[in-house]
Amino acid sequence: MMLTLRPDVIDADERARVRAALDAAGWQPRDLADRYRLAVSTLDDPLIERLVALAASVAGAPLSRHGHEWLRLVHGDYQLMKGDGLERPSEPHVELIADVSAAATGEAEIFYSDGRVVPQLPGAVAVLKRDATLVRWQRHLSLRVGDAAVYRLRLTLLRE
Protein backbone atom coordinates (compact mmCIF):
# COMPACT_ATOMS: atom_id res chain seq x y z
CA MET A 1 0.00 0.00 0.00
CA MET A 2 1.83 3.12 -1.19
CA LEU A 3 -0.85 5.69 -0.55
CA THR A 4 -4.56 5.35 -1.13
CA LEU A 5 -6.49 8.58 -1.56
CA ARG A 6 -10.26 8.32 -1.67
CA PRO A 7 -12.16 11.51 -2.52
CA ASP A 8 -15.71 12.29 -1.41
CA VAL A 9 -15.74 9.95 1.57
CA ILE A 10 -17.14 12.54 3.98
CA ASP A 11 -19.95 14.72 2.67
CA ALA A 12 -20.32 18.42 3.38
CA ASP A 13 -23.04 17.97 6.02
CA GLU A 14 -20.98 15.53 8.03
CA ARG A 15 -17.88 17.68 7.74
CA ALA A 16 -19.85 20.64 9.02
CA ARG A 17 -21.17 18.57 11.93
CA VAL A 18 -17.68 17.43 12.90
CA ARG A 19 -16.24 20.95 12.66
CA ALA A 20 -19.02 22.28 14.87
CA ALA A 21 -18.40 19.54 17.42
CA LEU A 22 -14.67 20.23 17.44
CA ASP A 23 -15.10 23.97 17.77
CA ALA A 24 -17.61 23.48 20.58
CA ALA A 25 -15.22 21.17 22.43
CA GLY A 26 -12.36 23.63 22.05
CA TRP A 27 -8.84 23.47 20.65
CA GLN A 28 -5.48 23.29 22.36
CA PRO A 29 -2.74 25.43 20.79
CA ARG A 30 0.48 23.60 19.94
CA ASP A 31 3.22 26.14 19.33
CA LEU A 32 6.93 25.39 19.39
CA ALA A 33 8.54 27.49 16.70
CA ASP A 34 10.96 24.96 15.22
CA ARG A 35 8.32 22.21 15.14
CA TYR A 36 4.77 23.43 14.64
CA ARG A 37 2.12 26.02 15.05
CA LEU A 38 -1.41 24.67 14.93
CA ALA A 39 -4.26 23.60 17.20
CA VAL A 40 -5.18 20.09 18.27
CA SER A 41 -8.11 18.21 19.75
CA THR A 42 -8.58 14.63 20.85
CA LEU A 43 -12.36 14.71 20.69
CA ASP A 44 -13.86 11.31 20.06
CA ASP A 45 -16.43 11.30 17.28
CA PRO A 46 -18.53 8.55 15.66
CA LEU A 47 -16.88 9.30 12.32
CA ILE A 48 -13.66 7.77 13.60
CA GLU A 49 -15.07 4.24 13.85
CA ARG A 50 -16.34 4.45 10.27
CA LEU A 51 -12.87 5.50 9.16
CA VAL A 52 -11.23 2.62 11.04
CA ALA A 53 -13.37 0.26 8.97
CA LEU A 54 -12.43 2.07 5.79
CA ALA A 55 -8.72 1.87 6.63
CA ALA A 56 -9.05 -1.86 7.35
CA SER A 57 -10.68 -2.44 3.97
CA VAL A 58 -7.87 -0.53 2.26
CA ALA A 59 -5.19 -2.36 4.25
CA GLY A 60 -6.89 -5.71 3.75
CA ALA A 61 -6.44 -6.57 7.42
CA PRO A 62 -8.14 -5.86 10.73
CA LEU A 63 -6.84 -2.70 12.37
CA SER A 64 -7.21 -1.33 15.85
CA ARG A 65 -7.09 2.25 16.99
CA HIS A 66 -3.78 3.33 18.46
CA GLY A 67 -4.53 7.01 18.69
CA HIS A 68 -6.07 9.96 16.95
CA GLU A 69 -5.68 13.69 16.78
CA TRP A 70 -7.71 16.39 15.11
CA LEU A 71 -5.71 19.28 13.70
CA ARG A 72 -6.81 22.77 12.81
CA LEU A 73 -4.54 24.99 10.76
CA VAL A 74 -5.15 28.62 9.85
CA HIS A 75 -3.10 31.34 8.20
CA GLY A 76 0.43 31.22 9.61
CA ASP A 77 0.20 27.63 10.84
CA TYR A 78 2.54 24.80 9.86
CA GLN A 79 4.09 21.55 11.04
CA LEU A 80 7.71 20.70 10.33
CA MET A 81 9.34 17.29 10.08
CA LYS A 82 11.03 17.81 13.43
CA GLY A 83 7.64 18.13 15.09
CA ASP A 84 6.33 15.02 13.41
CA GLY A 85 9.46 12.97 14.02
CA LEU A 86 9.37 13.46 17.73
CA GLU A 87 5.75 12.51 18.20
CA ARG A 88 4.81 9.75 15.79
CA PRO A 89 4.58 6.14 16.96
CA SER A 90 7.88 4.33 16.52
CA GLU A 91 6.38 1.03 15.42
CA PRO A 92 5.13 0.41 11.85
CA HIS A 93 1.52 1.47 11.58
CA VAL A 94 -1.20 2.59 9.25
CA GLU A 95 -2.00 6.29 9.14
CA LEU A 96 -5.30 7.66 7.99
CA ILE A 97 -5.77 11.33 7.17
CA ALA A 98 -9.33 12.61 6.83
CA ASP A 99 -10.06 16.15 5.69
CA VAL A 100 -13.21 17.68 7.16
CA SER A 101 -12.50 21.24 6.04
CA ALA A 102 -15.19 23.36 4.44
CA ALA A 103 -13.11 24.21 1.37
CA ALA A 104 -9.79 23.58 -0.32
CA THR A 105 -7.11 26.15 0.39
CA GLY A 106 -4.60 25.12 -2.27
CA GLU A 107 -2.05 24.89 0.56
CA ALA A 108 -1.44 22.79 3.70
CA GLU A 109 -0.52 19.67 1.77
CA ILE A 110 1.13 16.90 3.78
CA PHE A 111 4.54 15.97 2.40
CA TYR A 112 6.10 12.68 3.49
CA SER A 113 9.85 12.19 3.45
CA ASP A 114 9.53 9.41 0.85
CA GLY A 115 7.89 11.78 -1.63
CA ARG A 116 4.25 10.94 -1.02
CA VAL A 117 1.91 13.92 -0.84
CA VAL A 118 -1.58 14.20 0.60
CA PRO A 119 -3.44 17.18 -0.84
CA GLN A 120 -5.75 19.31 1.26
CA LEU A 121 -8.97 18.02 -0.24
CA PRO A 122 -12.21 18.36 1.76
CA GLY A 123 -14.03 15.08 2.17
CA ALA A 124 -11.05 12.99 1.09
CA VAL A 125 -9.42 10.24 3.12
CA ALA A 126 -5.81 9.10 2.66
CA VAL A 127 -4.48 5.82 4.02
CA LEU A 128 -0.81 4.86 4.05
CA LYS A 129 1.70 2.68 5.85
CA ARG A 130 4.34 4.35 7.97
CA ASP A 131 7.46 3.06 9.64
CA ALA A 132 9.94 4.53 12.09
CA THR A 133 11.93 6.36 9.44
CA LEU A 134 9.12 8.14 7.66
CA VAL A 135 8.41 11.71 8.69
CA ARG A 136 6.18 14.35 7.24
CA TRP A 137 5.55 18.08 7.17
CA GLN A 138 2.44 20.14 6.59
CA ARG A 139 2.92 23.17 4.40
CA HIS A 140 2.55 26.60 5.94
CA LEU A 141 -0.72 28.38 5.25
CA SER A 142 0.09 31.72 3.68
CA LEU A 143 -1.99 34.88 3.49
CA ARG A 144 -3.50 33.48 0.31
CA VAL A 145 -5.82 31.26 2.36
CA GLY A 146 -7.53 34.27 3.95
CA ASP A 147 -9.82 33.24 6.80
CA ALA A 148 -10.04 29.60 5.71
CA ALA A 149 -9.25 26.86 8.20
CA VAL A 150 -8.03 23.34 7.54
CA TYR A 151 -9.59 20.66 9.73
CA ARG A 152 -8.11 17.20 9.47
CA LEU A 153 -7.94 13.99 11.44
CA ARG A 154 -4.81 11.92 11.90
CA LEU A 155 -5.76 8.42 12.91
CA THR A 156 -3.05 5.94 13.88
CA LEU A 157 -3.92 2.26 13.45
CA LEU A 158 -2.13 -0.97 14.29
CA ARG A 159 -2.64 -4.43 12.84
CA GLU A 160 -4.57 -6.64 15.22
Partner 1 sequence: MEAWAAAWRAAEPFAHVAIDDVVDDAGMAELRDAIVRQPHWPNRGELYEMMASGEPTAPALRAFIDAIGSAPVRAAIGAISGDTLSRADGASYVYLAGSYLLPHTDFRSGVDRKVAWIFYLSDDDAFSGGELDLYRCDVDATGEIVGTAIARTLRPRKNRLVLFDVARTTLHRVREVTSGARVSLAGWLY
**Residue 46: how many CB atoms within 10 A of its CB?**
10
Positions in 15-34 near partner 1 (CB under 8 A):
31-34
Cβ nearer to partner 1, comparing 59 with 80: 80
DSSP codes, 65-88: EEEEEEEEE-TT-EE-HHHHHTTS
127 — phi, psi (to 5°)?
-130, 130
Find the binder of partner 1 among 29, 76, 92, 106 (CB under 8 A). 76
DSSP letters, 97-125, are EEE--SS--S---EEETTS-EE---TT-E
Q: x-or-dash pattern for partner 1, window 35-74, by CB under 8 A?
A: ----------------------------------------
Decide whether 24 or 33 has the Cβ nearer to partner 1: 33
Question: Residues 119, 109: contact at Cβ < 8 Å?
Answer: yes
- What helix, strand, coil percent values describe the chain, rounded to 5? 20, 35, 40
3-state SS string over 17-29?
A: HHHHHHHHHCCEE
Which lies closer to partner 1 via its Cβ, residue 36 or residue 70?
36
| Shortest separation between residue 25's beta carbon and partner 1, angstroms | 26
Stretch that binds partner 1, among 14-22, 98-106, 126-134, 141-149 (CB under 8 A): 141-149
| Of 20-28, 40-48, 75-83, 97-105: span binding partner 1 (CB under 8 A) | 75-83
Residues that bind partner 1 (CB under 8 A): 31-34, 76, 78, 80-81, 111, 137, 139-140, 142-144
